[in-house]
Every structure is written in C-alpha cells, then in structure tokens.
Amino acid sequence: MTTVSVAAAIREGRLEGRLWLYSTYACNLACTYCLTESAPGVPRRALGADRMVDLAHQAAGLGFTELGVTGGEPFLDPSLPQVLARLGEVLPTLVLTNATLFTPGRVAALRPLADLPVKVQVSLDSSFPDRNDHARGPGNFRKVVDAIPRLVALGIGVRVATTLDGEDDPDDQARLCELHRSLGVGDEDHVVRPVVARGRAGARGRGIRAGTSELPPELTVTIDGAFWSPFGPTVTDGVLATDLLVTRTIDPLCIPAEALVRLIEARPAGSDARTGIR
Amino acid sequence: MEARVPLIDDGQVPPLLARHFEGGDPGVIVRALASVPELAEVAIPFIGTVLGPGSLPAVPKEVAVLRTSALLDCRYCIDSRTVAATEMGLDRALVQAALATPAGERLPGLDDAMAAVVAWIDAVAVGTGPVPDRTFAAVAAVLAAHQIVELTVVVGTTVLLNRFCTSLALPTSAETRAALAQQGFSS
C-alpha cells in the first residue's frame, strides 16, 4: 500500500478529504449527548500543538484537503488561535467550539485567522434558550449568540451546527434559521445532525445507531489512536470504544490513513451508503 | 483472576479485525491483542501460521509448544495446550513428562531422536547465550535445516505468547478448565 492510494481514495470520493484532530478530551461543558463524556475536570489528554501541526503537514502530503479540529473544547487551550493559524497555513481548517470561552482577549487573538482559510463552527441546538441550555448547560445560549456576531465582525468564517436530540421541531428549526441569519451566518453554513447513540447519549438510550455502515469514513486522530470517523473516539462510563478504532498508531499518519483505505476497499459493493451524519 | 488489560468484546471489535471474530469466540489472546488493531492484524495470522500445520510433524510441534509453556510456567498456555495435545492424541505420559521434567533433563520414555528435539526446545526456550554445538548437532541429525528453523520459530513464538499471557494475567476459559477436568488434568 502506497500513499498514492490515500490520495486516490480522497480524489475519487471514497475517503473524506478532511482529517480530524481531537485536540483534547476536556471541556468546560457537560452536554447531555456528548460523545466523549467530556466535562470540567476530565483529563485533557491533548494531542499537543506541535504534533497537530506535524500531522497537518503529513496530511497534506498524503492528499488530504482539509483539517478539522474538535474535542472536548479546543479553545480550553489558550494558544489555540496560534495553532489554528499554523494549521490554516497548511490546509483549510474548521474548528468546532461551544463558543463559551470567547472573552474579548480571546476574540482579539483570533483576528489573524480572518486572513487564513480557517472557519469556526459553533454549536447551537435550539432557538429557545431554555431548550438549548437544557442540553448544553446554563447560560450557553446567551454566550453563543453574543460570540457569533463578534467572530463575524472580525471577518472569520462562522458555521452553526445544530444537534437534534429527539423529535424535530419545525417551528424551532425555522426560528433557529432566522436567528443564525440575523447573527450573520447564512443557510449554507448551518449544519443539522441527529444525536448519535454513542458516549453519553448512548448511555441514556438516546440517538441513532452510528457504525461503519452509517458513518462516512473520515480519518480522526486522537491521543488514543486513529478512528473511522469523528464519531468514533467515544467514551462510555469512562471506557473508550474500540468498534471504530482503526489503529493505535497515529504517527506516521500514513499508517492509519492506509489502514482506513484498506478497510474502505474491503467493503462489499454498495456498503458505502450514508445517512448524512456529519 | 481478571486480565490486566481489556479483552475486547464482540460489540467493540475494531474494523480491521472483524474477520477474526466472525467464526465465534477467538479466545483471550486475540481479544487482548485487539486493543492494538494494526498489530493484531499481522500478529494473529502470524501466530496462526507458526502454530498451524507446517513442515514440522505435528507431534514435535505440539511438544515444543507444551514444553516451552511448561518451562515458562504460563498457566493459560499450559492449560490450553494440554487440552489441545490430549485431543490430538499425544501420549498422556509424554504430556505429563513435558509438563513435569525440569529444563535440561531428558524426558523419560523418549527415543534419542525426540530427546534431541526436546533438548533443542529447552535450550532455545530458557537458555541464555549461544546454544551448545552438541545440542545443535544432535537435533540436526534428526531434523532438516528448514525444520530446525520452523521449530525455533515455534519455540520463540511460544515464549512470546507465554510471557504475553502470563504478564497480562489472561484467564483460562471455563471450557478449557472443564476439558482439563474431563481429561484428568488439573488447572
């Protein structure tokens, strides 16, 4: 297996072009559907800035076209804006955040990202503050709707991600769309996905099943190993799930990347159906 | 005693290893190795090849595994290989001798050819430094060079498995304990 096959798999659409980096497992929130049981006090178990940048360079060499940074809450690391700038100089980068840590100083530190292909994806689950905060924590809604316009004003690309826990409420969704538009985020930058029955949601019996048949292959690197998808490195009752673990080796990146391509190529024809879980 | 590492259950099988779990319980060695899929992916077929049919006749190969496990005092391997050796029809007295005779001593009841093979097994399994020329000369008189290569790999791989199972406290299964009891051995 050569690196050419990874590039070809991405070029031909069999492997997603984005490499996900789990920057940390720690979070300042404890969302009810969190995949990784992240919460305040959870050990950070971080990849580290230099390793993330090194992996980004390796990803570019292998043919990956984008980077995603997630967690936990990546912005718990005060140096993340500088790390994102380094990543953005390698490949277009999307960072996922709960946007609750954006003090004026931290927002100012993000200013250089406006000139780089770096986007920020903010979680916002409902147009109703109490409904949003029920899943994501007290005061979350207020902080998010405060942070988004400040990011937009800096010229930073912002996406809004909505995770639906339970029945879809069309009225809420319509209101939410009005809200994100009013905050400066267009419809093309609003993603909606269901809760996945893994991690904290799975332990509560919530969400939809998500295995290799449901999830598109998106190489995801954590301190624990490399996974099939960013929905892979889940934690339940403190135990890491291994059903979507590709390899423990994350460096050199070609090892998990080539293993994932082998898994994709070994799938029976027609098994690449997707349910749109992103 | 519980294993010191997770034994991957059927619902948590990494995708690279799915085929090794499709035929039923793969055993605790595979379940332990499965925590490192890329390693298990090559280790499982390697172990299967080394311990499976080869150029070495079945009896010396099974004696090599059983004897090495006894010398290394690996409870899991002694239990599982005693059952396997008995089921393949290995002489009961030979099984007991392989388990009980101290390293370097001639097993009772062996002919000279088999004694030379066991002397090689003992020297590879628990010896340090070079194996004496006379031990090699004796085994070379009864096995071809390629068979000595295979025998040495079998012993070495068994040492690896012995230390793996013992260090990580992999438990003997209830089925193996039941089979041992039925065969008149104790775990």
- For residue range B25-36, what is the model confidence (pLDDT) as tens digits? 999 999 999 999
Q: What is the pLDDT of residue A1?
A: 44
Listed as ranges, residues in chain A with pLDDT below 50 are: 1-2
CA angle A196, A264, A230 (to 5 degrees): 30
Strand, helix or coil for residue A235? strand
- Give the CB-side neighbour count of residue A89, counting CA atoms within 13 A: 9
Q: Which of B96, B86, B158 lies closest to B121, judged by CA?
A: B158
- SS (HEC) of A68-111: EEECCCHHHCCCHHHHHHHHHCCCCEEEEECCCCCCHHHHHHCH
The Cα of B176 is separated from the nearest Cα of chain A by a number of Å equal to: 27
CA dist., res. A167 & res. A68, Å (int): 28
Residues A19 and A226: beta-carbon distance below 8 Å: no
% of chain B residues with pLDDT over 70:
100
Distant-in-sequence, close-in-space partners of B119: CB < 8 Å, separation ≥ 6: B104, B106, B135, B138, B139
CA dist., res. A153 & res. A173, Å (int): 24
Beta-bridged to residue A225, according to DSSP, are A222
Q: Which domains does chain A have, with CATH numbers?
A: 16-217 (3.20.20.70)
Which helix (H) or strand (E) segment holds residue A177: the answer is: helix A170-182
Q: Which two tokens stand for residue A126?
A: 């409902």
Beta-carbon separation of A241 and B8 below 8 A:
no
Residues of chain B contacting residue A248, judged by C-beta atoms under 8 Å apart: 35-39
Beta-carbon separation of B38 and A241 below 8 A:
no
CA dist., res. B25 & res. A67, Å (int): 39
Beta-bridged to residue A160, according to DSSP, are A122, A190
Q: What is the pLDDT of residue A94?
A: 98
- Give the CB-side neighbour count of residue B171, counting CA atoms within 13 A: 11
Strand, helix or coil for residue A265? helix
CA dist., res. A93 & res. A69, Å (int): 7
Q: What is the pLDDT of residue A274?
A: 58
Beta-bridged to residue A22, according to DSSP, are A70
Q: For the residues B145-154, what does the mean pLDDT come to? A: 98
Q: For the residues B51-55, what does the mean pLDDT come to? A: 96
Residues A95 and A120: beta-carbon distance below 8 Å: yes
Residue A242 at interface with chain B, using a CB cutoff of 8 Å: yes
Residues of chain A contacting residue B14, judged by C-beta atoms under 8 Å apart: 242-246
Contacting B residues, span 28-87, partner chain A, CB-CB under 8 Å: 34-39, 41
Model ipTM over 0.85: yes
Residues A196 and A206: beta-carbon distance below 8 Å: no
- SS (HEC) of B110-175: CCHHHHHHHHHHHHHHHCCCCCCHHHHHHHHCCCCHHHHHHHHHHHHHHHHHHHHHHHCCCCCCHH
Band of pLDDT at residue B120, cut at 50, 70 and 90? very high
The CA dihedral of A264, A252, A51, A121, to the nearest 10 degrees, is -10
Residue A49 at interface with chain B, using a CB cutoff of 8 Å: no
For B17, the closest chain A residue by CA position comes to A246
CA dist., res. A191 & res. A124, Å (int): 10
DSSP B97: H
C-alpha distances in angstroms, B72 versus B125, B126, B145?
Answer: 8, 8, 26
Residues A43 and A71: beta-carbon distance below 8 Å: no
C-alpha distances in angstroms, B65 versus B32, B95, B97, B146, B155?
Answer: 20, 11, 14, 18, 6
The Cα of B7 is separated from the nearest Cα of chain A by a number of Å equal to: 11
Residues A192 and A277: beta-carbon distance below 8 Å: no
pLDDT in tens, B67-119: 999 999 999 999 999 999 999 999 999 999 999 999 999 999 999 999 999 99
Residue indicated by tokens 């090892």: A255
Strand, helix or coil for residue A225? strand
Distant-in-sequence, close-in-space partners of A104: CB < 8 Å, separation ≥ 6: none
Which CATH superfamily, name and number, covers B58-183?
AhpD-like (1.20.1290.10)
Amino acid at A272: D
Classify residue A187 as exposed, middle or buried by CB count within 10 Å of its CB (0-12, 13-18, 19+).
exposed
Residues of chain B contacting residue A263, judged by C-beta atoms under 8 Å apart: 15-16
Write the residue in B6, B12, B38 that is nearest to A248 by C-beta.
Answer: B38
Residue B170 pLDDT exceeds 90? yes
Q: Domain-by-domain residue ranges, chain B?
A: 10-51, 58-183
Residues B56 and B151: beta-carbon distance below 8 Å: yes
Q: What is the pLDDT of residue A24?
A: 94
Q: What is the pLDDT of residue A278?
A: 57
